[in-house]
Structure 1
Amino acid sequence: MVKDESIKSKNAQYDILTSDKIYEASHFKDLKTFYSTHNNGKELKEKALQSMGFYDENNMLANGAVLFQDDYQGKKTEIKCSVFSGFNKGSEKIITINRYNGNITSSINYMMDFVNQRMNHSLIKLDNVRKNIDAYPQRALFEGIVNAIAHRDYFLDGTQIQVDMFKDRLEISSPGSFYRGEKIGKTYDLSGIISKRRNELISSVLVSCNVMEAAGTGFDKIMEEYQGVDEAHRPYIYSTSDHFTLVLPDLTYSEGVEDNKIPHLEYVPVANGTKYDDAVLSFCYYQARKVSEIAEYLGVSDSSYLRKQVLENLARENYVTKGKIGRAACYRTNMDMVELK
């Protein structure tokens, strides 16, 4: 079902289709307040909404407009916010799990409040002056949340935006890959990411509210907020066929986000699999690994069994892709076949 809905979402935009709801101005007080807050007190005009396609000549709302209604509490905007005690979901204690259903503007406010109430704060000394440091810069956090809302695949039922706070980072995950964009795996080059709009109406409303750029993803602002940080504190994203995730390192955690942290994965068991499959897929998730590196990680010899029975079987079953680093064979986990726990 998710696959079918994903295919559908590539051929149409959910938010511009006409709904069965009639537009009534009194049902959009939250949107008007949100607009005014981010536009120096200005009032959202009816003409502006109409020109964006918020409703048609028969006063019928577009699907995307319905998601801005004051009383909207449907599943299309569902959010799950969690706090974990450690570095991953698989083996660490869950401190908090909150779920939220509401209209788009209240969802943005809810996610901002959730993180702000729980993030760490610190002080640093600069030439006899103390400077307050937030774990996540406000502008970077806001841009990440708005981006998740704007580019979410609203065709994918049974999914939610996930906000996960870990000891060293914040992850904001949104259903759907980049719209008609390349599946990019993991990248630190946020400013180089180009993605077409998946939701024209929702994006237009957010642009009019002055919380989203008319062009681009807003990632440039995130890069500016993290300018000058060391390698371990650089933000990055990763994208697969069914979700994309922005990772913001915690600036108060001195060690930063380490690439050598091994994720915990979920996947359908591999046909003719071995006891090493789970370790190999986790080890090769974030980057391609040479056979010698895999062998060392597993604590086994670089043998024909490892190459043929383990790695080549994973490649045949499409769980890993095979490549080369120099002249050496390497393997990288196929993100479409696994999910992070």
Structure 2
Amino acid sequence: MTTWLDILVAELRKFGAEAVGVEVKASAGGLPSSAKESLSAFSNSPGGGTLVLGLDDSPGYRAVGLRDARKLQTDLASMCRSELVPPLRPQIVLGEVDGCAVIAAYVPELPREQKPCYVEKQGMVRGTYIRVADTDRRLTAEEVHQLIAERGQPAFDAEPVVEASLGHLDEVEVAHYVARLRQANPRLWGNEEASVILRMNRVLVRDASGEYRPSLAGLLALGRYPQEFFPQLNVTFVHYPTVTGEATPSGVRFLDNVSINGSIPHMAAEALATIQRNMSRRSLISGEGRRDVWEYPPEALREAIVNSLVHRDLSAGSRGTQVQIEMYPDRLRIHNPGGLFGSVDITRLGEEGRSSARNAVLLRLLEDVTVPGEDRTVCENRGSGIRAMIASLRRAGMGPPRFKDKVTSFEVVMPNHALLDDGTVAWINSLGREGIRDSQFIALALMRRGEVLDNAKYRAATGVTDSRVAYFELQDLVARELVDQTGSRGGARYTLSNFARLAGTSEARRRPRPNRRRQIIEALHLHGTLSKSQIAEVIGASDKATEHWLSRMKKDGEIQASEGKRTSRNTRYSLTDKAMQPELPFSAPDTS
């Protein structure tokens, strides 16, 4: 019987430690002291992670065994309870891999209100870790304080800027803001003085002496030049000539290098204009014919830029870090300080109705502050920005963005390529299109580029919103033998099968895909009646693939269920008269 540990090790060997969130330690001499750091790191990191003892951490992850596995399991549980604050209660299993004892401990991410988890002897400031790639990194003191501050609703954006006054706000922008509020809600604001409106919406707040000052949110939303007080609360843009960011052989380091300042509405507009100035256009072939589009859709860029400015961390320790936009020949990267906040995690980005604001006052203000030169506002605050970004990339024939939540920072990476280019379309056509949905084609194209998908990534890439529909579509691809599945349930991952990978190549012509329909007919012709599992064994296919073909062949009238219910293990199948007709063509692989 395949166990959770077997699945984990199979994924580790196939995808690597970073991809599956695993830390591997040989532990031949007992429980290593560094395990505490990994336990802390996983509990503080998005999605948690798994500590595995008894495997070599070199490629291949060979099982080396444990001297006293039972004692090591007890020591690990004791370490979690007594050497970490707060105590952890991971799921610890003891099993065998390649005949050797191995221990695996799954450490879930702690709820926001319980972070950070730290090594008690090192103290909170020195003993708090997070997971970065496949290593444990100690958080700085400021990062630790950020985690503590985010146990509740951060209020840094509502703090008064004590050196600023009303004169530091843009008079024209303030007038537009007040007029918009009065028009949108005359019952509340129609007869109020502008000063009252600014105070009640926390554009102006009291300082320690009782004087009204612009709040940080008010200055960022409506200020003339917020960088007078916070020089690094701005945007930097760098266009690199190479994919690594290194200089060209001729010594060119940057194609463009810009520092963008002003209020958030102006920075967002200028950042978009700067990116477009550095973009070229490409041709997109669709049902409407060939049309020219930007390398990156402006709507996707706009949403990514605004999100980075509005949801960035505004705590004192992060005010020295800019929002960074980096353009490379193959991708665009937008990075901001501060990871995801609240109930939103990396697997639920873009889900309808799921939104959480780190800077609640700032976001609320920008709902009523317009984009320079336009009638629309900077933010909607409806949790739809990520969905709009993904949808616009999909309409442009591009792959989905990649999101990285690093607890103390967040980044969006947009690959610069057409997802369904001519070569990919030709490859998809070679697979056989009957019954395959457009969303499944997108997933296949992504997997062809090396992407490893799970249910959440599938939904984000394809626009499918229901996890059950996504599961059905992925399982359908597995059944068609176009996709291989590793793991099960919530931990299932999907990659392209060898059949699909070789489709359309000379290798595929030398080793054609098996004609499962013909194999099933021949098996039943030889044996008379067989169950699903017996058919799968005879033709050398998975249960899912066999079930897929049995369903199709029953629908086509080629087989019939001879006894039991269709879903019963005892159901046996036999051929119909139609399947026995000698003129049925079986010369080519059936790709339907």
Deviation readout 1:32-79 (Å, 9 max, x if unpaired): 48869x99x99x983543332111364322122233420322234132
Structure 1 residue 197 displacement after superposition: 0.8
Structure 1 residue 176 displacement after superposition: 0.5
TM-score, normalised via structure 1 length: 0.63
1:111 alignment counterpart: 271
1:236 alignment counterpart: 402
CA distance in 2, matches of 1:212, 1:32: 17
CA distance in 1, matches of 2:348, 2:332: 15
Could you tell me which runs of 5 or more consecutive residues in structure 2 were left unpaired when the two chains were aligned: 1-140, 370-376, 425-444, 454-485, 489-592
Mapped pair 1:70 → 2:229: no
Mapped pair 1:201 → 2:374: no
2:555 alignment counterpart: none
SS in 2 for 1:226: helix
Mapped pair 1:79 → 2:226: no
CA distance in 2, matches of 1:128, 1:258: 23
Q: Is the 8 A contact 2:336 2:409 kept in 1?
A: yes
**Bigger CA radius of gyration:** 2
The letter for the 2-side match of 1:245 is: E
Alpha carbons of 1:261 and 1:123: their partners in 2 closer, same or farther (altered >3 Å)? closer
SS in 1 for 2:361: helix
Figure out how many residues of one structure are paired with residues of the other and give that number: 264
2:568 alignment counterpart: none
Higher strand share: 1
CA distance in 2, matches of 1:199, 1:125: 41
Identical pairs, percent: 18
SS in 2 for 1:20: coil
2:507 alignment counterpart: none
1:171 alignment counterpart: 333
Choose which of 218, 229, 232 in structure 1 pairs with 2:385: 218
Choose which of 176, 191, 198 in structure 2 pairs with 1:49: 198
CA distance in 2, matches of 1:115, 1:240: 25
CA distance in 2, matches of 1:118, 1:105: 20
Could you tell me which runs of 5 or more consecutive residues in structure 1 were left unpaired when the two chains were aligned: 263-285, 289-324, 328-341
Alpha carbons of 1:145 and 1:251: their partners in 2 closer, same or farther (altered >3 Å)? same
Alpha carbons of 1:175 and 1:54: their partners in 2 closer, same or farther (altered >3 Å)? same
Alpha carbons of 1:217 and 1:31: their partners in 2 closer, same or farther (altered >3 Å)? farther
1:316 alignment counterpart: none
- The one of the two structures with greater contact order (alpha-carbon pairs below 8 A, sep at least 6) is 1
Alpha carbons of 1:3 and 1:128: their partners in 2 closer, same or farther (altered >3 Å)? closer
The letter for the 2-side match of 1:110 is: E
Alpha carbons of 1:23 and 1:118: their partners in 2 closer, same or farther (altered >3 Å)? same
Alpha carbons of 1:326 and 1:261: their partners in 2 closer, same or farther (altered >3 Å)? closer
Choose which of 403, 412, 420 in structure 2 pairs with 1:246: 412
1:31 alignment counterpart: 173
Give RMSD over aligned pairs: 4.1
Q: Is the 8 A contact 1:121 1:252 kept in 2?
A: no
Alpha carbons of 1:238 and 1:261: their partners in 2 closer, same or farther (altered >3 Å)? farther
Deviation readout 1:162-188 (Å, 9 max, x if unpaired): 11112122211111001235663xx69
Choose which of 304, 307, 314 in structure 2 pairs with 1:144: 304
1:157 alignment counterpart: 319
Alpha carbons of 1:96 and 1:123: their partners in 2 closer, same or farther (altered >3 Å)? same
TM-score, normalised via structure 2 length: 0.38
Alpha carbons of 1:21 and 1:225: their partners in 2 closer, same or farther (altered >3 Å)? same
CA distance in 1, matches of 2:264, 2:212: 21
